[in-house]
Amino acid sequence: MGGVCCCFSEPVDFDAEVTLYHFDLHRAVGKGAFGKVRVVEHKRSKKLYALKYIDKARCIRQKAIANIIQERRLLEEIDHPFIVNLRYAFQDDENCFFVLDLMLGGDLRFHLERKGYIQEDVVRFWMAELACALEYLHRQRIIHRDLKPDNILLDAMGHAHITDFNVAIHYSERRMHTSVAGSMAYMAPQVVGRKGYSWAIDWWSLGITAYELIFHKRPFDGRNAEKMIHSILKDPLRFPEDASTRISEAGISALRGFITRDPDTRLGCRPNGQGKKDIHQHPWFESIDWDTLENKDCQPPFVPDMKQANFDVSHELDEFLMVEKPLTHTKRKVNPDLDKMKPELRQLEEQFTVYDFTSSKRMSYYPHNQPVTAIGTDIDMERTTHSTDGTLIPTATIAERSQAGTPLLDSNSQHRHIPPLPSSHGPILHATLGYTVIIISA
Cβ atoms of 127 and 258 within 8 Å: the answer is: no
Q: Which residue in the list 55, 92, 107, 146 is annotated as catalytic?
A: 146
- Give the count of beta carbons closer than 10 Å to the beta carbon of residue 218: 18
Residue 148 assigned to a binding site: no
Burial 234-272 (b: 16+ CB within 10 A, else e): eeeeebeeebeebbeebbbebbebbbbeebeebbbbbbe
Tell me the HSE value of 58 on the side-chain side, using a 13 A CA sphere: 13
Say whether 15 is catalytic: no
Cβ atoms of 140 and 433 within 8 Å: the answer is: yes
Which residues are bridge partners to 182 per DSSP? 398
Residues 178, 161: Cα–Cα separation, whole Å:
27
Q: At what angle do helices 201-215 and 108-115 cross, to 10 degrees?
A: 20
Angle (CA) 263 269 272, round 5°:
130
Cβ atoms of 196 and 182 within 8 Å: the answer is: no
Cβ atoms of 24 and 41 within 8 Å: the answer is: yes
Helices (H), 216-269: 225-234, 249-258
Q: Which residues are marked as active site? A: 146
Binding positions are 52
Binding positions for ATP are 52
